[in-house]
Copies of this chain bind each other. A is one copy, B any other.
Amino acid sequence: MTEVRTLHPTTDQYAFAFGGREPLLTVAPGTIVELSTEDCFAGKVRSVDDLPSVVCEFPFLNPVTGPIAVEGAEVGDTLTVHFVEITPARDWAASSTFPHFGALTTTHATAMLHEALEERVWIYELDVAAGVCRFQARRTDFSVELPLDPMHGTVGVAPAAGEVLMSITPAAHGGNMDTPEMRAGVTAYFPVNVPGGMLSLGDGHARQGEGEVCGTAVEAAMRTVVVVDLVKGGAPVSPRIESDGFLMTTGSARPLEDAYRMSQHDLVGWTGSLLGLEQLDAYQLVSQAGLAPAGNVVDTNYTMVAKLPKTLLGATTAYDGLHDRLRAVGADYLRTR
């Protein structure tokens, strides 16, 4: 019987960084964890009048739940997280522009002489039962329903080399990759850089466009269920994701072509390894069969995702079929709770 643990941080237990923290919870590999996460505004943006730059205080942005230590996780291992369920915790979510943040505005790094764009908040009504959220324009009456597609923008482990990185940064340890692929039903693989690995997650999105162009998604507190597991050895260079249909690799860097290169480089290597292909043969296969959606183009590093359909794998499975086994564990949990 799979062990089930819970992790519901109090307000002062949220972390705002990866690395440098004692675990809030320690679990054995294979444990199911029911947990809650706050939104990226730490829950302080509750109406269109709550401007983030007023109600939020730097650096207390993008709270994450964790860290969760995994028993037996050693440097070089692969910490595995299977997302069983990601459910919005409230019937609303918030989004906003934010001064000097986003892809189509002057920022600290892409520094320009323009005044910041207007800061503006949008509140979305969520209807979990119907599976939709509602966008309401602020300057006109236009309104439209969008499909719910809940996911976590921020999932990661403690970085290598003793670094402590703000939770808004995506890098080799994961972090704020902001890819809509991190949804329920997928399994994510992270390198273990410190004993226990130290998994944290947060930044739930009721849905998100690829690239997250304005800098924020439909930001929502979440009730999330994961299976936390461990593969001995095999630490990936950057986080990998597996869904029922796809193998996925990620790269987080600037410029965006370097993020693309990192993700494709790892997918070529992974594909070659699984199929016994020589490197250039794997390069060729990925070139013709791969997908390459943007994750985010707004954070301190940009993230690209590389995807390969698992139909190409035939009977071959990644990580010895771990995704399917965790999928079954999740299904069993949902059926029996």
Contact = CB atoms under 8 A, between A and B. Distances in A.
A164 interface: yes
Contacts of A280: 97, 113, 117-118, 120, 138-139
Interface string A100-114: 000111101111111
A30 interface: no
A208 B286 CA distance: 9
A245 interface: no
Contacts of A302: 257
Interface residues of A, number: 91
Contacts of A215: 287
Interface in A139-191: 139-140, 142, 144, 146, 160-166
Contact of A288 (B20, B135, B264, B277): B135
A330 interface: no
Nearest to A168: B161
Contact of A293 (B140, B292, B314): B292
Contacts of A17: 161-163
Interface stretch (A64-72, A80-88, A223-231, A248-256): A248-256
A257 B297 contact: yes
Given A140-B278, A277-B140, A258 B109 contact: yes
Contact of A264 (B109, B213, B276): B213
Contacts of A16: 161-162
A212 interface: yes
A102 B275 CA distance: 22
14 contacts: A59-B161, A59-B162, A95-B284, A95-B288, A103-B261, A112-B261, A120-B280, A142-B281, A144-B314, A162-B166, A208-B288, A210-B292, A214-B283, A257-B297
Given A17-B162, A110-B261, A254-B258, 7 more contacts: A105-B113, A113-B280, A135-B285, A146-B289, A209-B291, A211-B287, A255-B255
